[in-house]
Amino acid sequence: MDAILIQILNGVDKGAAYALIALGLTLVFGTLGIVNFAHGALFMLGAFCSVTFNKLLTLSVKVKDEGVTLFEAFKEEPYLKIWFGDTGLAIIDYSVPLSILMAIPVMILVGYVMERGLIQHFYKRAHADQILVTFGLAIVLQEIVKATFGANPIPQPPPEIVAGSANVGLWLGLGESVVYPWWRLIYLVFSGAVIFAVFAFLQFTTYGMVVRAGMRDRETVGLLGINIEKRFTIVFALAAVVAGVAGVMYTPILPPDFHMGMDFLVLSFVVVVVGGMGSLGGAVAAGFLLGIVQSFASMNEVKEIFPGIDQIIIYLVAVAILLVRPRGLLGRTGVMED
C-alpha cells in the first residue's frame, strides 16, 4: 500500500507537467487546427523566465565586507538586500513563485507574437508544413536560450519554508515511510488550480463558449460572423501562458536546461494522442495517467521482469492506443481517426 502510494505520488508531479503542456497543445490543435511542435519550447521559455527573474532579483554590487577586519575584503551583496534588508532577502527566497508575475506577461507577448507572426500563416497549410515550421522554431528558441544561458542546467531553489518534505503518510495514517517534497505537493495543487481555471474559462465565459464551439465546428462559428481570428490569438496566448507557468513552477523539481522543452514535447504529444486529439479532459487525464504509469514502470520489481520498460512504457501505451483506439481515451468519434 505504501509502495503504491509512493509510486503514485512520484508519478503525479511529472504527470501534472505533462497535463499542463498537453492541455495547451490540444487546445491549440482543437481550435486552431495547428500541430505545434514548438509548444515544448514555451514550457522551456517559462522555466527560463524563472531563471531570468531570479537573476534580476539577485543583481548584486560589490560592497566592503565588514565581517572581515584584518584586511579589506569585498563581497557581493544583492541590491534588494541593501535597499530592503531582510524583506529583500525574503523576496529573493520566493523568486520562483514570484517569477510567475513576470512569466504571465512575457508568455502572453510570446504567444501573441508567435501566433500573429508565424502560426496564422499556417492555418490553411498541410499538417506536415505546420510540424516542420514549428519544429524549426523550436530549434531556434532552444538555441537562443542555449546561447544566452549556457548548456548546463541551472538549479532554482524553492522557498526556504517549503524546502523539506511533507509527511504524507502520517496524514493518511500510513506510517512515516511516505514522505513527499513540499514543493511537489505545491506543484500538484498549483496545476490543479490552473487546469480548473482553464476549464472554468472555457465553460463559464462567453469567450470560452465560442472557443468550445470552434473546437466542434470551426466553419460554422466563422459563418456566424464571429471574429475567429482574434480569438485564435487569445487561445494561443492562453496556451502559451499555461505552458509557461507550468515551466516556471517546475524549475525547483527539474533544473531547467535548453533541451527540456523538446524532451517534454515528445511526451506531451504522446499524452495528447492517448487522451484524444482535441479533447481537453483527455489531455489532463492521460497526462496524470501516463505520469503514474511511468512511475510504476520504474520500480525495481517491474524493471527486473521487463528490463528497460521504464524507458519505453509511455510510447508503448501510445502505440497501443493509436492502434486499438485511434481517437484516444476521451476523444470524440470521427476526429482525426484515420
Partner 1 sequence: MKKINVNDTTLFLSFAAVILLMPIWLSPFGAAYPDLLQKFAIYGIFAIGFNILFGLTGYLSFGHAAFLGVGSYAAVWSFKLFTMNVLPAVAFGIFFAGLLALAIGFLSLRRSGIYFSILTLAFAQMSYNLAYSVLTPITNGETGLQLTSNDPRWIDAMYKTPEAGLPSTELFGLTMNGYPGFYFCAVILIICFYISLRIFRSPFGLTLRGIKTNQKRMKYTGFNTRPYMLAAFVISGMYAGLAGSLLAITDPLAGAERMQWTASGEVVLMTILGGVGTLVGPMLGAGLIKYFENIFSSFNSGTLHEVFSFLPDGLEVVVVKVTGLFVGSGWHLTLGLLFMIVVIFLPGGIVEGVQKLARLFRPKTDDDPQAPAPQKQAAE
Question: Among 13-21, 70-78, 99-107, 130-138, which window interacts with partner 1 (CB under 8 A)?
Answer: 130-138
Question: Among 156-164, 231-239, 286-294, 319-327, which window interacts with partner 1 (CB under 8 A)?
Answer: 319-327
CA proximity to 8, closest of 203, 297, 201: 297
Query: Nearest distance from residue 274's CB to partner 1, in Å?
Result: 10
Q: Collapse the DSSP code of 236 into the 3-class scheme (helix H, G, I; strand E, B; otherwise coil) and give the result.
A: helix
Distances in Å between the alpha carbon of 321 and those of 285, 318, 330? 14, 5, 11
Residue 139 exposure: Cα atoms within 13 Å on the Cβ side: 5
Query: Nearest distance from residue 152's CB to partner 1, in Å?
Result: 13
Decide if 282 contacts 331 (C-beta within 8 A). Answer: yes
Distance CA 271, CA 289 (A): 9
Q: Does 239 bind partner 1 (CB under 8 A)?
A: no
Q: Per CB under 8 A, which of residues 255..284 are in contact with partner 1?
A: 262, 266, 269-270, 273
Mark out the alpha helices in the chain (DSSP H runs).
2-32, 39-57, 79-84, 86-93, 95-117, 127-149, 168-171, 182-204, 206-216, 218-223, 228-250, 260-275, 280-297, 300-305, 309-324
Q: Does 293 bind partner 1 (CB under 8 A)?
A: no
Q: Does 144 bind partner 1 (CB under 8 A)?
A: yes
Q: Which residues contact 168 (CB under 8 A, 6 or more apart)?
A: 5, 9, 178, 179, 180, 185
Among 55, 125, 216, 325, which residue sits at the site for partner 1 (rule: CB under 8 A)?
125
CA–centroid distance for 288 within its chain: 13
Query: Nearest distance from residue 127's CB to partner 1, in Å?
Result: 5
Query: Nearest distance from residue 209's CB to partner 1, in Å?
Result: 26
- Write down how long the chain is: 338
The 3-42 contact track toward partner 1, x by CB under 8 A, reads --------------------------------x-------
Q: Does 120 bind partner 1 (CB under 8 A)?
A: no
Q: Does 154 bind partner 1 (CB under 8 A)?
A: no
Q: Does 336 bind partner 1 (CB under 8 A)?
A: yes
Distance CA 47, CA 252 (A): 10
Among 75, 127, 216, 325, which residue sits at the site for partner 1 (rule: CB under 8 A)?
127
Q: Which residues contact 71 (CB under 8 A, 6 or more apart)?
A: none
Q: Does 333 bind partner 1 (CB under 8 A)?
A: no
Question: Among 88-96, 127-135, 154-162, 175-183, which window interacts with partner 1 (CB under 8 A)?
Answer: 127-135
Among 60, 205, 220, 311, which residue sits at the site for partner 1 (rule: CB under 8 A)?
311
CB atoms within 10 A of CB 8: 15
Alpha-carbon Rg for the chain in angstroms: 22
Q: Does 152 bind partner 1 (CB under 8 A)?
A: no
Chain residues in the site for partner 1 (CB under 8 A): 35, 118, 121, 124-129, 131-133, 135-140, 143-144, 147, 262, 266, 269-270, 273, 307-308, 311-312, 315-316, 318-319, 322-323, 326, 336, 338
